[in-house]
Structure 1
Amino acid sequence: MSDDSDGASLSRAQSYALVVAAAILLSAVLAPVAYDRATAPDGRVAVISVEGFISSSSVTAVQEDLREARENESIDAVVLNVDSPGGSAAASEQLYLAVQRTAQVMPVVASVKSTGASGAYYAMLPARDIYVTPASIVGSVGVRGAAPGPSLPGEIKSGPDKASTTADQRRAQIETLQRAFVGSVMKHRGDELGLSRTEVAHAKVYTGASAVDNGMADQIGSTPEAIDAAAEAADLEDYEVVRKEPPRAGGLILLSTDDGGTVVVEKSPAGYDAVDTPTFLMVYGEVQTTDEVIGNVSA
C-alpha cells in the first residue's frame, strides 16, 4: 500500500515539474513579445528637408512630404530642416501655406542648419519654434524683381497691355508682396519680436544669436534639439524619427549657396527674352544667370 502511495506521490511531483517547466518555456517565448510591446515608441517625428533655391519643382516635393505627414496616423510632429536662401516668391508662398496647414494638425518646429533667409524664412513662420545655430543666417524679409524690359523691335501685340508693365506698376507689385511678407512676420512673431515693423521691412539678415535676441528666432540649438522639442510638443516620451530626403535639384535652378553668395539660375531656354514675364524673388544673395557666371570665369 505504501509502495502505491509513494508511486502516486512521485507521479504527481513529476507532473508538477512538467507543468513548471512548460510555464518557464512559455514565459521565455512570450517575454520578448511583451518587452517589445512595453518598449514600442509612442509615435514618430518626421524630419522634412527644405534645401537650396525654393522653386516650383522643389516645393511640390516638400508639399507632398508635408501632406503625407498630415495624413499618416503614425506621424505626430514635423521638423523642418532648413538650409535655403529663399527663392521664387510664388513658390515660397506655396510652401508657407503648406507649412501653415500642417501646423494646424500637428506641432511643427523649424531648424536652420546654415541659412534660413527670405522665402525660406517666410516658409518657417507658421512653426511653433525656430531653432538656429549661433552662426545661422536668418531674416532678409524682402522681395526683388527685375525692371521691365523693352519690347522686341518689330514685335506685334494683340493689345497695348499684353506683356507690358511700367516701372511704377512693377514697384507697386513688389510693394504689395512685401507688405504681405512683413505682415506675416508680424502676425506669427509679433509677440516675440523686439523689432518694429519698419525695422523688419528693412530686410536685414541676422546671425542666429542676434535673431534669438531680437525675436526673429526662438532657440539656439541643433536639429536633434528641435526634434526633441517637437516630440515634447506632441507629448511623446519615446519616439522614432523618420527622415525625408531632400528633393534633387531640377527645373531651371542649378545652384544656390548657403552663405548668401551668388544664386545661379539658368537663362530662359526659349531664347525669347523680350517677353516681359516678371519673376519675383524672395531670395538672399546675388542672382546671376549661367551665361554671366561662365563669362566671369572666362574673363
Structure 2
Amino acid sequence: MSNSPDGGSLTQAQSYALVVVAAVLLSAILAPVAYDRATQPDGTVAVVTIEGPITSGSATAVQKDLREARENESIDAVVLNVDSPGGGAAASEQLYLSVQRTAAEMPVVASVTSTGASGAYYAMLPAEDIYVTPASIVGSVGVRAAAPGPSLPGEVKSGPDKASATADQRRTQVETLQNAFVGSVMKHRSDDLELSRTEVAHAKVYSGARAVDNGMADDIGSTQDAIRQAANAADLDDYEVYRKEPPQTGGLLLLSADDGGGVVVERSPVGYETVDTPTLLMVYGSVQTESEVIGNVSA
C-alpha cells in the first residue's frame, strides 16, 4: 500500500467532491420547498356581493358574510361588489352599520358594477373608496313611504294609537330617516363632495362619471381595480381573492319587476290589509303593489 502524499491528496479531493455533489443535490431538493414558502400570498381580499333589492333577509346574509370576514384572521380587506337599487330603510341601515363596523377593522372598498342607489348607496358609505363605471347609477339619497290607509270600519283597538298613524306622523318618520341618511353622506363624503347638503337631499341620481366629478364616488374602475386598491390599502403585495357568492333568499318583501324598471311590494303576508304597517323605503325606481302589477299584466 502506498503512503505517498499524492495518494492522500487524491483521497481528500475525492471526499471533498462527494460533499459538494451531495450539497448540490440537497439544495436542488429543498429549493422548490423554499421557493414555495417565499411565494405564499401575503393575505386575502374578500369580495362580498350586495345584489338586488335590500330586504331583511338579504341584509342578514350580507351581515353574516361581513362578520365572517372580520373574524377570519386570513382576511385582510373587503371589497363590496354592489348592484342594487336599495330597499327597505331598516335593512339598509343595518347594512350600513355592518359595513361601518367592518371598515373600522380593515380596509373596505366598494365597486358599483351597475346600480348603487338609495339604500345601497347608504350601505357602502363607510367604504374608503367607491369605484364606479361611467354608466353606473349612484345617488338617490332619499326615503319614501306610503300614506296611511283607512282603518277597518267597526274595528276595536286596545288603545287609540294602536295600528294608526296620521300623514304628519308618517312625514315625520320619513324626515327623521332622511336626516340620518343625508347626515351620513355628509359625514363620509364631505371632504370630496362638490354638492351642498341641500343638493344631496334632493335625492338625484347620477351617472358614474358625474358622481366622480361631484364627489359622490371616488374613481372610475372595475371590480378588479377595487380589489387592487383594497390590497394596497392593506399593504398586500401578493394576495388571494376570496369571492363570496351572493345569498339566495326567499320570501322577499321587495321583488324586482320583470322589466327591471321598478320594485314590487308584496301584499301583507298575514292577509289583513287594513293593518297600517308602514313600509319605509330607501329604493330607487318605481314602486308598485302586487295587485297593480297583476292588473297591468292583465290589461
Q: TM-score, structure 1 length as denominator?
A: 0.94
Query: Which AA in structure 2 matches 1:223?
Result: T
Partner SS, residue 114 of structure 1: strand
Displacement of 1:7 in angstroms is 6.3
Partner of 1:104: 104
**Residues 254, 89 of structure 1: alpha-carbon distance in 2 compared, 3 angstrom cutoff:** closer
Question: Cα offset for 1:154?
Answer: 2.4
Aligned to 1:130: 130
**CA distance in structure 2 between the partners assigned to 1:190 and 1:258 by the alignment:** 37
* 1:69 match: 69
Alignment of 1:224-239 (within 5 A): 224-239=224-239
Corresponding position of 1:271: 271
Q: Which runs of 5+ in 1 are unaligned?
A: none
Measure the CA separation in 2 of the matches of 1:283 and 1:128.
23
Mean alpha-carbon deviation: is it higher for 105-114 or for 267-276? Answer: 267-276
Amino acid at match of 1:280: L
Q: How does 1:36-47 map to 2 (within 5 A)?
A: 36-47=36-47
Change (3 A) 1:259 1:106: farther
Task: Within 5 Å, give how 1:282-297 maps onto structure 2.
Answer: 282-297=282-297
* Aligned residue in 1 for 2:152: 152
1:81 aligned onto 2:81:
yes
Deviation at 1:69, TM superposition (A): 1.1
Residue 297 of structure 1 and its aligned partner are, at CA, apart by: 1.4
Q: Tell me the distance in 2 between the aligned counterparts of 1:257 and 1:42.
A: 43
Give the superposition deviation at 1:77: 0.8
CA distance in 1, matches of 2:259, 2:225: 23
**Alignment partner, residue 171 of structure 1:** 171
1:244-259 to 2 correspondences below 5 Å: 244-253=244-253, 255-256=255-256
Q: SS of 1:2's equivalent?
A: coil
In 2, the alpha carbon distance for the partners of 1:154 and 1:64 equals 45
1:18-29 correspondence runs (5 A): 18-29=18-29
Residue 259 of structure 1 deviates from its aligned partner by 9.5
Question: Contact conserved, 2:55 with 2:254, CA < 8 A, in 1?
Answer: no
Read off the aligned partner of 1:298 and give its amino acid letter: S
Question: C-alpha distance in 1, partners of 2:230/2:143?
Answer: 31
Instruction: Please tell me whether the aligned partners of residues 85 and 258 of structure 1 are also in contact (alpha carbons under 8 angstroms).
Output: no
Question: How far did 1:290 drift?
Answer: 3.2
Cα separation, 2, equivalents of 1:257 and 1:264 = 6
| Offset from partner CA, 1:112-163 (integer Å, 9 cap, x none) | 0000000000011111111000000000000011100111222211111100
Give distance in 2, aligned partners of 1:4 and 1:59. Answer: 89
Q: Which moved more, 1:246-255 or 1:13-22?
A: 13-22
Q: Percent identity?
A: 81
Do the aligned partners of residues 236 and 78 (structure 1) sit closer, same or farther apart at CA in structure 2, a change above 3 Å counting? same
Q: Give yes or no for contact 2:87–2:254 (8 Å, CA) kept in 1.
A: no
Secondary structure of 1:96's aligned partner:
helix
1:18: Cα distance to partner? 3.4
Per mean C-alpha deviation after superposition, the further-off stretch among 134-143 and 254-263 is 254-263
Deviation of the 1:27 alpha carbon: 1.4
Q: Which residue of 1 aligns with 2:206?
A: 206
1-side partners of 2:114 and 2:178: how far apart? 24
Distance 2:120 2:157 in 1: 37
Distance 1:253 1:33, change over 3 A: farther
Question: Could you tell me how far apart the structure 1 residues matched to 2:273 and 2:206 are?
Answer: 36
User: Deviations 1:39-63 (Å, cap 9, x if unpaired)?
Assistant: 1111111111000011111111111
Could you say what the CA RMSD is over the residues aligned between the two structures, in angstroms?
1.9
TM-score, structure 2 normalization: 0.94
Moved more, 275-284 or 252-261: 252-261
Of 6-15 and 169-178, the range deviating more from structure 2 = 6-15
Aligned length: 299
Secondary structure at the counterpart of residue 145 of structure 2: coil
